Amino acid sequence: MFRPTAVFVQDNGASHLAALRPSGDQWTGSHTQITWRQRDDSADVEVGSTAGLSRIAVRWALPASPGSLILGDAWERSYGDLQWRHLQPDRFLPWYWLAHDPVTGRTTGMGVDVQPAAFCSWTVDADGVTLWLDLRNGGGPVELGSRVLTAATVRSFSDAGDPWATLEAAVATMSTRLPARPEPAPAVGANNWYYAYGVDFDEKAVLKDASTIVELADGHPVKPFSVVDDGWNPGGPASGGPWDSGTPGLFDDLAGTAAAVKEIGARPGLWFRPLLSREPGPWGLPGRRERTLDPSRPEVLDLVRADLQRFRDWGFELVKHDFSTFDVFGRFGPAMGAGLTHSGWQLADPTRTTAEVILDFYRVIREAADDLVLIGCNTVGHLAAGLVDIQRTGDDTSGREWERTRKMGVNTLAFRLPQHGRFFALDADCVPCTPQTPWGLNRRFLDLVARSGTALFVSIDPAARTDEADRDLSAAIRIALDGGDAGGIRPLDWLHNTTPQEWATGGGTVKYGWSEPWGADPAAG
């Protein structure tokens, strides 16, 4: 690692960045001291401040080659927007960046280890590189007091042979401090969201989904999941808790539902939104119309612990927790930008950064879940790494509009696949089988996800089942339950295509036609 050229700080309510005075590996100002703690292959950024602290900018004079292509990650899910792009100085790049020089063929970059104490992003320009550390508490400064905070561990990435290999090596490097992950069983199953959308379903429909996925798995020794997604509780879709009962007349006995799914031969799963309540209470975030719960409060964490224990007592084996990034920041990923949230509000505990609060929240869920399989949706991937088993890395696919599945699902699988098996198991979201979407296109996405070895969940509308669809689904589900293509897969045209068509597999190159029903269809037999 190489020492920064300059360090800037925004503290004490200032509206702008001020340069700190360098002295060896320290930079100081009237209220703040930053230490660059060098290690063999990384460096910690340590922060102390006697004033309210908002942001730090760490600068290196590392000019990028004019023709370089630049890649970064996303705050939470991606939204069909991951791509290699020409130099754009105002483009913020969450967590890490890579630069590929088409002339020399070299790919290099920088990033921060997973589970940092700040929201970290980068900008790359013709004169250098800047690491932006957002240390705020909500939309206001954090009050560290006497604490010295290790805000992030910084790493640099050298060329590993080609852009794909370099990204794989970078992701592996940023996750080296995580405990070794046990080899998980393939995550494959049914999820009712993309045909039910949280309405017009009941226990009978859930059990039919379980029977369908077991039938399509066709006796495979690895049991598939059957997930009851949003809409099972009295509040309806995207509503909040309490999460202590199902909708009367539709889900009167959730423990009985879970037991019935197991009897059919599937593993029961359940969705919930932990940071939203339908009932008024004293633990909400300030200035929110909805009753959004403040995860910095111990009482809120106790509620979440109780919810997870209840789901375990009911007999569920998988829990999907959703919406927490939106509930904390009031924005989804594309609207978060460099500002993350609106200014002028703070969490109840102002002594911790928002990143620290969210990390503690994820740790509480992980501990309370115990042996449950956890899916994080609308969770911050770089913070959730090691704390969820499966991560929804892209925004929703669709049972109503194929273009959304192509845009969201293919893009996130192509550009975040190196995170699979390192940060968590990747979930590019469900493959729909519905009357509203063309099966000739959906089955191509199905084939790709199955080959990838990532999580494969399918939303099968009973009205869309045909002999052809059943054959395709069964074949792909069994491939996924086997762990995917033994040789692995990787996109080949990802440097210039946001939804890559050409993929290398263990058996050779496969080409998918995503745009037209008559395009290349390797899943057709």
**pLDDT tens digits, residue range 63-87?**
888 899 999 999 999 999 999 999 9
Residue 183 pLDDT exceeds 80: no
Closest to 461 in 3D by CA, of 476, 442, 445, 444: 442
| pLDDT value, residue 180 | 77
Residue 270 pLDDT exceeds 60: yes
| pLDDT value, residue 297 | 96
Strands 32-38 and 43-49, sheet pairing: antiparallel
Q: What is the pTM of this model?
A: 0.96
Residues forming a β-bridge with 133: 56, 120
Domain coordinates of the chain in residue numbers?
6-174, 181-390, 393-452+486-525
Distance CA 94, CA 118 (A): 11
| pLDDT value, residue 519 | 63
Give 485-513 pLDDT, tens digit per residue.
988 899 999 999 999 999 999 889 999 99
Least confident of 78-87, 287-296, 298-307, 373-382: 287-296
Q: Is the dihedral of CA 168, 170, 176, 181 positive or negative?
A: negative
Element (H, E) at 98: strand 96-100
Residue 525 pLDDT exceeds 60: no
Give the mean model confidence (pLDDT) for residues 372-400. Answer: 98
The share of the chain scoring above pLDDT 90, in percent, equals 89
**Which listed CATH number (3.40.47.10, 3.40.50.720, 3.40.50.10470, 3.20.20.70) goes with 181-390?**
3.20.20.70
- Whether the Cβ atoms of residue 60 and residue 23 lie closer than 8 Å to each other: no
Give the mean model confidence (pLDDT) for residues 226-234. Answer: 96
- Whether the Cβ atoms of residue 433 and residue 474 lie closer than 8 Å to each other: no
Least confident of 93-107, 120-134, 178-192, 451-465: 178-192
Residue 310 pLDDT exceeds 90: yes
| pLDDT value, residue 44 | 97
* Cis peptide, bond prior to residue 89, ω within 30 of zero: no
Give 139-148 pLDDT, tens digit per residue.
999 999 999 9
Residue 244 pLDDT exceeds 80: yes
Distance CA 119, CA 112 (A): 10
Distance CA 46, CA 231 (A): 44
| pLDDT value, residue 324 | 98
| pLDDT value, residue 1 | 67
Give the mean model confidence (pLDDT) for residues 361-376. Answer: 97
